[in-house]
Amino acid sequence: MSAPLRLSLLLIAIGLAGCGGSVSHSNTPGPTPAPFTATADHVVLVVLENHSFNEVIGSSSMPYLNALASQHALATNYFADAHPSLTDYFLLTTGLPETIDNNFAGTVTDDNMVRALTGSNKTWRAYMEGLPSVGYAGDDVWPYLKHHDPFVYLSDVLSSTAMSANVVPVTQLSADLSSGTLQNFSFVAPDAENDAHSCPGNAPTCPDTDKLVRADNWLKNNIDPLINSPAFGNGVVIITWDEGDVTDIASGGGQVATVLVGPHVKTGFRSVTFYDHESTLRLILDLLHVSDHPGASAFAPSMGEFFQ
**In the 3-class helix/strand/coil scheme, how is 5-63 assigned residue by residue?**
HHHHHHHHHHHHHCCCCEECCCCCCCCCCCCCCCCCCEEEEEEECCCCHHHHCCCCCCH
Q: What is the pLDDT of residue 30?
A: 44
Angle at 303 between CA 275 and CA 63, to 5 degrees: 75
Give the sign of the dihedral formed by CA 134, CA 140, CA 144, CA 147: positive
Give the other-Cβ count within 10 Å of 233's Cβ: 12
Asked, for residue 31, whether it belongs to a domain, the answer is: no
Asked, for residue 109, whether it belongs to a domain, the answer is: yes
Asked, for residue 285, whether it belongs to a domain, the answer is: yes
**pLDDT surpasses 70 at 291:** yes
Q: Give 270's strand partners.
A: 74
In this prediction, residue 47 has a pLDDT band, given cuts at 50, 70 and 90, of very high
Mean pLDDT over the full length of the chain: 91
Q: What CATH number is attached to the domain comprising 277? A: 3.40.720.10
User: Which amino acid, residue 206?
Assistant: C
Q: Please tell me the pTM assigned to this model.
A: 0.92
Range with the lowest mean pLDDT among 24-33, 47-56, 87-96, 278-287?
Answer: 24-33
Residue-number span of the structural domain to which 134 is assigned = 3-25+41-306
Give the other-Cβ count within 10 Å of 208's Cβ: 15
Q: What is the pLDDT of residue 31?
A: 46
Asked, for residue 212, whether it belongs to a domain, the answer is: yes
**pLDDT surpasses 80 at 3:** no
Asked, for residue 213, whether it belongs to a domain, the answer is: yes
User: Which amino acid, residue 168?
Assistant: V
Q: Label residue 238 exposed, middle or buried (CB < 10 Å: 0-12, 13-18, 19+).
A: buried
Q: What is the pLDDT of residue 192?
A: 98
Average pLDDT in the 46-57 region? 98
Q: What is the pLDDT of residue 122?
A: 98
Asked, for residue 62, whether it belongs to a domain, the answer is: yes
Q: Label residue 301 exposed, middle or buried (CB < 10 Å: 0-12, 13-18, 19+).
A: middle
**How many domains does one find in the chain?**
1
Asked, for residue 30, whether it belongs to a domain, the answer is: no
Asked, for residue 33, whether it belongs to a domain, the answer is: no
**pLDDT surpasses 80 at 262:** yes
**pLDDT surpasses 50 at 64:** yes
Which of 194, 152, 303 shows the shortest CA–CA distance to 238?
Answer: 303
Q: What is the pLDDT of residue 10?
A: 52
Q: What is the pLDDT of residue 89?
A: 98
